[in-house]
Amino acid sequence: MAKLSSLYVCQQCGYQSPTFLGRCPECGSWSSLVEQISTTSSKISNNPQPSKSISQVINLSDITNNQYERLKSSLEEFDRVLGGGLVLGSIILISGDPGIGKSTLLTQVAINLPGVLYMAGEESAQQIKLRVDRIKAGVNLAVLNEVDVDAITTVIEKMRPKLVIIDSIQTLQTQDMESAAGSVSQVRESANRLQRMAKSLHIPILLVGHVTKEGTVAGPKTLEHLVDVVLSLEGEATSSFRILRSSKNRFGPTDEVGIFEMEEQGLKEVKNPSKIFLENKVDAPGSVVVASLNGYRPILVEIQALVTKSYLPSPRRSGSGVDLNRLQLLVAVLQKRLGLPLFDQDIFVNVTGGLKVFEPAVDLGICAAIVSSLKDQKVKPGMVLVGEVGLLGELRAIRQLDKRVNEAKKLGFTSVIAPPKVSSLSEAIKISLQ
């Protein structure tokens, strides 16, 4: 016999409570618990029967090459972040701020591939045609305006497209649940059904996900665990550059980035990001060029530092594009090992172009930029600094130095300051400053 039961579910993290709570004890969100009515069965079988449908055991040696090859999207930057292309049967989640270009990017992927089904839950087919004509006129694209996930899976099973794009997962719902679209239960169940469809038919599915005001993927955390790849499209509001990065990738590295430039006709791939990030470099104190490694690609970026007298009891330490904790550690090393008077100075560090660099290899560049601004001395022209700084003021070896050096030579830089050429922070700073 079935009976109805009431359950309160947090719309931010999925926490469940039998009673209403003003604040979620799991994530701390206020007024996020919503009542959901579920049907449970009071009859429990003492002798459960196994499922009638039993999956077959597959030997990996029986799988041919064409059953796991990747699907190329004709966008090299997009394929690079995925690890070489779309894996058949994979489910990929892409998120980003409103208006950042998620739909534009996926539309460009769709028009470059034949047999794509674009599921639109937020836009009409006429609106999508306007975007398609702006990017590339005269292109045909199959569009489905539907929010019922069961109807969508039926169409997918009938059409068997090469790629499915869902824009967005928060608009989908199933009639088997009474909660509204976008709720934790609807998002989780819709994603589950799409995942089973992708794995059974070996069709890659791209999901567009909303973000919260904190910048994280909206919906239950199980959504990120469920998918194979989690991508985020980032960019500053004042910049035309867009950076695609992955925080989870079962089929490739998670530190690769794809760089695009937003234009009137859509997102344009940036083939030489180092040149783009350095084209507006200013030769002034506090400016240093470092060689950062993103996945397998070396990228030269400019790090700027501003050191100024502080009139606050606690001087400010601010970093944009760098780890704030790492910045505070490097400031402490500069004070202790080089004897610099930074205790009463405000320090601001910024990576130009909106790129984020968190690898320890940029430590030397950050330290040199701070010292350059403090002493009001320029870094010698044509110089790239790279190296990890230890707590004792020593420079530690970094990975794939040859790639960084080759990239610097391509752009006309004449010298690279890096271990083991120099072994201490004080020696590197003395060589680099004019």
Q: How confident is the model at residue 308 (pLDDT cuts 50, 70, 90)?
A: very high
Domain identity same for 243 and 357: no
Query: How much is the pLDDT for 297?
Result: 84
Per-residue confidence (pLDDT) for residue 68, from 0 to 100 = 63
Q: Which residue do the tokens 């996926």 mark?
A: 106
Please give the pLDDT value at position 281: 86
pLDDT of 43: 47
Residue 100 assigned ligand-binding role:
yes
One domain for residues 162 and 287: no
Tell me if 54 is assigned to some domain. Answer: no
**Domain at 212, CATH number:** 3.40.50.300
Kindly tell me if the per-residue pLDDT of 5 is higher than 80: no
Residue 51, in any domain of the structure: no
Query: Is 393 flagged in the annotation as binding?
Result: no
**Domain check: are 24 and 158 in the same one?**
no
What mean pLDDT is predicted for residues 26-53? 63
Say whether 97 counts as a known binding-site residue: yes
In a domain, 48, yes or no: no
Structural tokens at position 204: 């890659």
- Could you tell me where the beta strands, DSSP code E, fall in 264-366? 266-269, 287-294, 297-309, 317-320, 345-351
CB atoms within 10 A of CB 209: 26
- Residue at which a domain ends, from 252, 271, 290: 271
The pLDDT assigned to 46 comes to 52
The confidence score (pLDDT) of residue 351 equals 93
Domain shared by 254 and 297, yes or no:
no
pLDDT number for residue 237: 67
Of residues 136 and 41, the one with the higher pLDDT is: 136
Average pLDDT over residues 255-261: 87
Task: Report yes or no on 53 lying in a domain.
Answer: no
Structure tokens at 268: 């344009």
Do residue 280 and residue 351 come from a single domain? Answer: yes
Residues 284 and 374 in one domain: yes
- Domain membership flag for residue 47: no
Same structural domain for residues 236 and 314? no
Give CA–CA dist 21/44, Å, rounded: 30
Residue 140 domain-assigned?
yes
Is 99 annotated to bind a ligand? Reply is yes
Strands 33-41 and 2-10, by their bridges, are: antiparallel
Q: Are residues 103 and 251 in the same domain?
A: yes
pLDDT, mean of residues 223-238: 86
Across the chain, what does the average pLDDT equal? 87
Q: What is the CATH number of the domain that holds 385?
A: 3.30.230.10
* 418 contact partners, CB below 8 Å, separation of at least 6: 364, 385, 386, 387, 395, 398, 401, 404, 405
The mean pLDDT value for 322-351 works out to 95
Least confident interval from 1-5, 238-242, 249-253:
1-5
Q: Look up the domain containing 10 and give its range.
A: 2-41
Does one domain contain both 317 and 387? yes
Using the predicted structure, report yes or no on whether residue 1 has a pLDDT greater than 50.
no
Q: Are residues 324 and 410 in the same domain?
A: yes
* Beta-ladder partners of 307: 347
pLDDT at 363: 96
pLDDT at 214: 67
Arithmetic mean of pLDDT, 119-128: 91
pLDDT greater than 50 at residue 271 = yes
Mean pLDDT score, 42-48 = 49
Share of the chain above pLDDT 90, in %: 53
Q: How many domains does the chain have?
A: 3
Which of the two residues, 132 and 236, has the higher pLDDT score?
132
- Is 220 annotated to bind ligand? no
Tell me whether residue 85 is in a domain.
yes
Task: Judge if 178 and 154 occupy the same domain.
Answer: yes
Distances 282 to 205, 279, 285, 304, 417 between C-alpha atoms, Å: 44, 9, 9, 10, 20
pLDDT at 44: 43
pLDDT 10s digits, 166-184: 998 999 998 887 777 887 8
Residues 306, 406 share a domain: yes
pLDDT(239) > 80: no
pLDDT digits (tens, 9 = 90+) for 97-116: 888 999 999 999 999 899 99
* 6 is a domain residue: yes
